[in-house]
Amino acid sequence: MTDAIVHVESVYKEYLTGSEPVRVLHGVDLEMAAGDYVSLIGPSGSGKSTLLNLIAGLDRPTSGRIIIAGEAISEMDEASVARWRSAHIGFIFQFYHLIPVLTAYENVELPLLLFDMPAAKRRKQVNIALDLVNLDHRVKHRPGQLSGGEQQRVGIARALVTDPALIVADEPTGDLDGHTSEEILDLLQAVHETLGKTILLVTHDPRAASRAQRLVHMDSGVLVEGNAESLREAFPGWANGH
């Protein structure tokens, strides 16, 4: 094994539909070094979200190994992987998944409540995360009082607040208009370049996919390295990456 922060080795995933197994992933291999920014693209039903969930420790492979930041999460029991996930993975979702009755500050603070951490340190980390996404002036606002772009910024701050080894983003611009999407993509790029965060992005948005350092293309459960031609194939009408 290399020093990759993400190491996926010969991973297969099957689900039972009735009594028949349906294979979703067919011997997938993937490596990401620390600081990589990778876009995972492909048609609906190709296995992108399945692979993302396996890497994030939300699901388990049928066979194969998944090692993240030196930890073989595919070999952990559910309780162990849940503790590991809380400390090492930052999630960014398409529909934000914020708790409506909590303020922006409280939503960002939530992951830290799982740790034995002094209140002063917790407060400092939350404020730093909100400042990084330029929402320090909206800390007392609840999700219903924020725009879609502001809600996604809260989601990004929540993903950053534990200082995770890996950020996984599942269609982070899917619910946003074009202008706001570009702002969120600029912010993710800044998180990558300024903080050196490792990011795995699943997207149907060619603008989002083209921002990454690397492109990997999933098709029928098989993963291959992508390029500009992959973008054009995955997104008909997309020309020259613009």
- DSSP per-residue letters across 135-180: -TT-TT--GGGS-HHHHHHHHHHHHHTT--SEEEEESTTTTS-HHH
Q: Position of tokens 């912010």? A: 187
Residues 200 and 197: their CA atoms lie apart, in Å, by 10
What number is the average pLDDT over the span 35-46? Answer: 91
Domains and CATH numbers, the chain: 34-60+82-234 (3.40.50.300)
Residue 216 clears pLDDT 80, i.e. is over it: yes
- Band of the pLDDT at 237, cuts 50, 70, 90? low
Q: pLDDT tens for residues 141-196?
A: 999 999 999 999 999 999 999 999 999 999 999 889 999 999 999 999 999 999 99
Residue 48 clears pLDDT 60, i.e. is over it: yes
What number is the average pLDDT over the span 117-142? Answer: 96
Residues 215 and 206: their CA atoms lie apart, in Å, by 11
User: pTM of the entire structure?
Assistant: 0.90
Computed over every residue of the chain, the mean pLDDT equals 91
Q: pLDDT tens for residues 194-203?
A: 999 999 999 9
The confidence score (pLDDT) of residue 238 equals 57
What is the pairing mode between strands 198-202 and 37-41? parallel
Residues 6+ away with beta carbon under 8 Å from 131: none
What number is the average pLDDT over the span 216-222? Answer: 91
- Band of the pLDDT at 45, cuts 50, 70, 90? confident
What secondary structure, in 3-state letters, does 54-106 show? HHCCCCCCCEEEEEECCEEHHHCCHHHHHHHHHHHEEEECCCCCCCCCCCHHH
What number is the average pLDDT over the span 25-32? Answer: 96
The confidence score (pLDDT) of residue 235 equals 67
Sign of CA dihedral 55, 57, 62, 66: positive
Q: What angle do CA 229, 196, 41 make, to 5 degrees?
A: 25
Residue 241 clears pLDDT 50, i.e. is over it: no
